[in-house]
Structure 1
Amino acid sequence: MSLVANPFLSDRSLKIRAKAIPWEGYQRAGLLGADDVQFVQRVAGARDKAESILDAVWLPFSADVTVTANSGWDAAQEGETYAALYIRLLNKLSRNDTLQFILVLLGDFIADRDERISLFFRQPDSPYPPLLKLLDSQDDFVRLKASAIASTILSYDPQPADQVVAKLLQHLSNLIRSPNEPEAQDVGTQCLESVLRVARARSMCWAPEGQEAKAPKVIEGLVQLLRSDPSPQMQYQLGFCFWLLTFDQTIAEQFNSHYNLIPLLLDLSKRAIKEKVIRVVVASFRNLVTKAPKQNLAAMLIAKVLPYVQTLQGRKFSDEEIKEDVDFLADELKKSFEGLTTYDEYKSELATGHLTWSPPHKNDDFWRDNAHKLTDKDREQLKVLVHLLVSSTEALTLAVAANDIAQFVKYHDNGKKAIEDLGAKARVMELMAHGDPDVKYQSLVATQRLMSHAWA
């Protein structure tokens, strides 16, 4: 796996490689042994030179080379030596320019060389403690380079410790939520592309109901970036992260209800310039339909995902997997949405937990025909509407819910009493003081209806 591709890190790495580090001085000070100095100096020059040395170390493992017992052992031993060396150097040395240099060497060692990463899991000393310590560095290069290396190593760890995953996730959530640091946001998002490949990392991003404060704000940060008109490359990185998250069953079930992500991802795909952005969004939708249809189909109906994927069916893609996912979605959504009435669509919108100004809300004919249905099955749908009015923090949802309360009271003979019985009257009146002008206006209209005589 490649390390993150970031211009800031690349430019600084070139300059750092050209610096002279006093390795012999560390030896004279007793911080490093003679062997440590000898090994680090072998790879401390230009990257091409270092790679030729490291490639020679790994050559006996090539499928095209006959490996003798001695040569295979020597190569393995030397690779292990470098893995152990870099951990030891990070643990022993603390000067900033030296740490920068070591991180550059370590990054070179593992970039696009998966077989070398596994060596770190066989060392007596873990690479995580020194790397995680550097996440708190005041030096931007050290902090971001350590983030990239730790994230890459973690993505190959078969059994990462929870405290390591938690520390890294918290750090990455801080990076992506740094609005004045575009380099940090870019590196943090790319690191999450690696870390979220780990199932344990995905589950730790999502706290159980009522314990959200204990989880790192990874999802919030990704949503924030998604709303910020990201660049085409950032669009892909964000889409990829959300796609990885949809592989977790719990996340797939709560994905849209918590963050209203289906409309956001749909908009991302519609605006996409790059085909790969469409690919990860469509693949995310397929995961959501497959893993949690009950929780996501309603939101896809309201967001008009079906008409969009039907337009995609008429496009040509270079990637066959996109066509397969598009056809799957079109078939599943069409099958699920066939025969739905306008009232079914309204119920589906209530079920998403997010309301918009879709046609039924302002349509008098709709309410004249359907207001009484909200009280069926012990006021089932009315209770859902009231719950949104009471619990939502979204101004748009609150405004639409207040409108619906007013419409229900207007067109239901006992609407005023039903609203009072459910305790919603006080909430409607409370929202007249809301900061959003539309919420305030719709609540005022609803309050007037509740205070007047029932409509006849």
Structure 2
Amino acid sequence: MSIAPFTIESQYLDDSRNAIRQRVIPWFALIKSGLLTNDEANRLEFLGRVTTEKDFGKIIPEIDLYTTTAFSLLSKITRDDIIKYLLNLILDLMTNLKEFQESLLSLNDVDTSLPYQTFLNHLNSNDEDIKLLVINNLAVLYLLKPITTNENKDGLLKLFDVLFSELINSSNLNLQNISVQVLSELLTIKNHRNIFWLKNNKFIPPLINLLKNKKSSLQVQYLTLLSLWLLSFNDKISTELPMNYNNLIKILVNISKDSIKEKIVRLSISILVNFINGNGYEQERIKVIKILLLNDSLSIIKNLNDRKWADQELIEDLAKMLEILNENYEKLTSFDEYLLELDSGVMTWSPPHRSKEFWSNYASKFKDQNYKLFKQLIALLNKIITENTNNKNLTNDQEKNLNKILSVICNDICQIITYVPEALAVLSKLDDSKAKIMELMTSKDVNLRYEALKTTQVLVAHAI
């Protein structure tokens, strides 16, 4: 007897599996179609009656025959009712019998695609029960025998794809819960994290959405954080994750501030600590620290540090973060703040934009590296105008937010050309940007109209 390395905890799935167990499958009717022999039908009928440890013991002497019988039929049958029955039966056997686990995995010695490919062939089924049982079986197999090299990554990537495209992105909260359970278990394997990261641009945004979604249960939030925490122990991932998805830092800070569950605060803080450890990536580490400081994390961490916690590691992580943030606070400049806003693409009316001192001191920096920052600002302007024009499904809040960003950008262009008139020649060569700014004077948003008018006046004045 043995216990599977992973069991999904879900009443939703348990109810489906119990209903499948109650079905009577006419095994002997399959003899005429050539799908089973008489002996194989007898074995499957007996397996359907196995419930006690004593019954499981009767299987062990002929375990390979029982394994081959069930698995061979699974690879041939097309009837959904029999497929889900076999998947459920195999999962029960893997959960309860170490010898069956070993026998099933030994098929890999005969064919390297087995036993995984037979399960993967059913992964795109339209039947939800089949899909969930395949996911559960594959998760157990990949935990029993992890993928150690990227050469055999395709099956695991396909499993990750289905987890995200059909479960995590589902509106069914039960499916979300099942998916993050599976994901957090699979990511306990170090090389699985590397394989997952190959498609991070597809997988990370849905996880961030789960953290932002107020309808997510505490358990889903915890398991989502656990998945990100496991990923953050990989040096490459812990560097790229906050750089490519810097809104995650603000989300983690807010979760730490607002959560009533210590284990959730613990994970959020631990992920941030892994980000700022930055082993071998000093430049990125400093940038994460700056993003933290600009999201008011210093005062938040001070407040958290003053609270009473039971978790000693959380206490130590908070003390470490507080020390690092205090050390870097005095080094933070208003230009750092501006660069972080520009890189994120989320421009707000923070103090630098309205400060004459800021533009007097730093406008010349927009000339550096062949106007690199100025061109980046213009590119952001064009991107948002395109997004605003092409997306007809924007909510009022989304449209208002985009207009606010455009207002800030217009203000900044106005300031840069005021202090660096030669930047006008650069603007004139970039994607009809002058014309686009002028068109913004007809916007329905009064603030955007004002900023576009002000900028247009400066453009005209310096063009004369």
Using the size of structure 2 for normalisation, the TM-score is 0.76
Aligned pairs, number: 427
How far residue 146 of structure 1 moved from its aligned partner, in angstroms, is: 1.1
How far residue 162 of structure 1 moved from its aligned partner, in angstroms, is: 2.0
User: Which position in structure 1 is the counterpart of 2:81?
Assistant: 97
The structure-2 alpha-carbon separation of the partners of 1:356 and 1:330, relative to structure 1 and needing over 3 Å to count, comes to farther
User: Which position in structure 1 is the counterpart of 2:174?
Assistant: 183
- Is 2:237 aligned against 1:251? yes
How far residue 164 of structure 1 moved from its aligned partner, in angstroms, is: 0.8
- TM alignment of 1:124-143, pairs within 5 A: 124-125=110-111, 126-143=114-131
The correspondence for 1:31, drawn from 31, 35, 41, is 35
The correspondence for 2:217, drawn from 231, 237, 244, is 231
Gapped regions of structure 2 (runs ≥ 5): 389-397
- TM alignment of 1:72-87, pairs within 5 A: 84=68, 86-87=70-71
Is the Cα contact below 8 Å between 1:361 and 1:403 reproduced in 2? no
User: Which position in structure 1 is the counterpart of 2:19?
Assistant: 15
- Is 2:461 aligned against 1:453? yes
Is the Cα contact below 8 Å between 1:367 and 1:408 reproduced in 2? no
Q: Which amino acid aligns with 2:76?
A: K
How far residue 84 of structure 1 moved from its aligned partner, in angstroms, is: 4.8
How far residue 354 of structure 1 moved from its aligned partner, in angstroms, is: 3.7
- Is 2:334 aligned against 1:342? yes
- Is 2:426 aligned against 1:421? yes
User: 3-state SS of the aligned residue for 1:192?
Assistant: helix
Listed one character per residue, the Cα deviations across residues 14-53 of structure 1 (whole Å, up to 9, x for unaligned) are 222222222343456543355544554454347xx34564
Distance 2:449 2:91 in 1: 57
Listed one character per residue, the Cα deviations across residues 326-380 of structure 1 (whole Å, up to 9, x for unaligned) are 2222222322333333334334444x43434263245335535534353475556
Distance 2:266 2:55 in 1: 39
How far residue 140 of structure 1 moved from its aligned partner, in angstroms, is: 0.9
Is the Cα contact below 8 Å between 2:348 and 2:408 reproduced in 1? no
Is the Cα contact below 8 Å between 1:131 and 1:150 reproduced in 2? yes
- Is 2:93 aligned against 1:88? no
Is the Cα contact below 8 Å between 2:367 and 2:423 reproduced in 1? no
Distance 1:424 1:288 in 2: 36
What CA RMSD, in Å, does the superposition of the two structures yield over aligned residues?
3.8
Runs (4 or more) in structure 1 with deviation over 6 Å come to: 112-116, 392-395
How far residue 418 of structure 1 moved from its aligned partner, in angstroms, is: 1.9
User: Which position in structure 2 is the counterpart of 1:67?
Assistant: none
The correspondence for 2:452, drawn from 441, 444, 456, is 444
The structure-2 alpha-carbon separation of the partners of 1:103 and 1:314, relative to structure 1 and needing over 3 Å to count, comes to farther
- TM alignment of 1:58-77, pairs within 5 A: none
The structure-2 alpha-carbon separation of the partners of 1:38 and 1:224, relative to structure 1 and needing over 3 Å to count, comes to same
- TM alignment of 1:27-426, pairs within 5 A: 27=31, 29-33=33-37, 36-37=40-41, 39-45=43-49, 49-50=51-52, 53-54=55-56, 84=68, 86-111=70-95, 117=101, 120-123=104-107, 124-125=110-111, 126-159=114-147, 161-176=152-167, 178-206=169-197, 217-229=202-214, 230-259=216-245, 260-291=247-278, 292-295=281-284, 296-350=288-342, 352-357=343-348, 359-367=350-358, 369-372=360-363, 374-375=365-366, 377-378=368-369, 381-382=373-374, 385-386=377-378, 388-389=380-381, 399-400=404-405, 403-404=408-409, 406-407=411-412, 409-410=414-415, 413-421=418-426, 423=429, 426=432
Task: Among all aligned residue pairs of Structure 1 and Structure 2, give the percentage whose two residues are the same amino acid.
Answer: 22
Using the size of structure 1 for normalisation, the TM-score is 0.78
Is the Cα contact below 8 Å between 1:389 and 1:398 reproduced in 2? no
How far residue 141 of structure 1 moved from its aligned partner, in angstroms, is: 0.9
Distance 1:380 1:267 in 2: 33
Is the Cα contact below 8 Å between 2:403 and 2:448 reproduced in 1? no
Is the Cα contact below 8 Å between 1:235 and 1:268 reproduced in 2? no
Q: Which amino acid aligns with 1:241?
A: S
User: Which position in structure 2 is the counterpart of 1:70?
Assistant: none
Listed one character per residue, the Cα deviations across residues 213-243 of structure 1 (whole Å, up to 9, x for unaligned) are xx77222322333333222111112212222
How far residue 278 of structure 1 moved from its aligned partner, in angstroms, is: 1.8
Listed one character per residue, the Cα deviations across residues 409-441 of structure 1 (whole Å, up to 9, x for unaligned) are 337754343254255684364365699959954
Is the Cα contact below 8 Å between 1:176 and 1:185 reproduced in 2? yes
Is the Cα contact below 8 Å between 1:239 and 1:281 reproduced in 2? yes
Q: Which amino acid aligns with 2:22?
A: A
- Is 2:23 aligned against 1:2? no
Distance 1:316 1:406 in 2: 46
Q: Which amino acid aligns with 2:209?
A: Q
Distance 1:319 1:51 in 2: 40
How far residue 109 of structure 1 moved from its aligned partner, in angstroms, is: 3.3
Is the Cα contact below 8 Å between 1:299 and 1:349 reproduced in 2? no
Gapped regions of structure 1 (runs ≥ 5): 58-73
User: 3-state SS of the aligned residue for 1:453?
Assistant: helix
How far residue 3 of structure 1 moved from its aligned partner, in angstroms, is: 2.6
Q: Which amino acid aligns with 1:191?
A: V
Is the Cα contact below 8 Å between 2:334 and 2:352 reproduced in 1? no
Distance 1:196 1:442 in 2: 51
Q: Which amino acid aligns with 1:335?
A: E
Q: Which amino acid aligns with 2:80?
A: N
Is the Cα contact below 8 Å between 1:195 and 1:201 reproduced in 2? yes
Q: Which amino acid aligns with 2:283?
A: K
The structure-2 alpha-carbon separation of the partners of 1:386 and 1:53, relative to structure 1 and needing over 3 Å to count, comes to farther
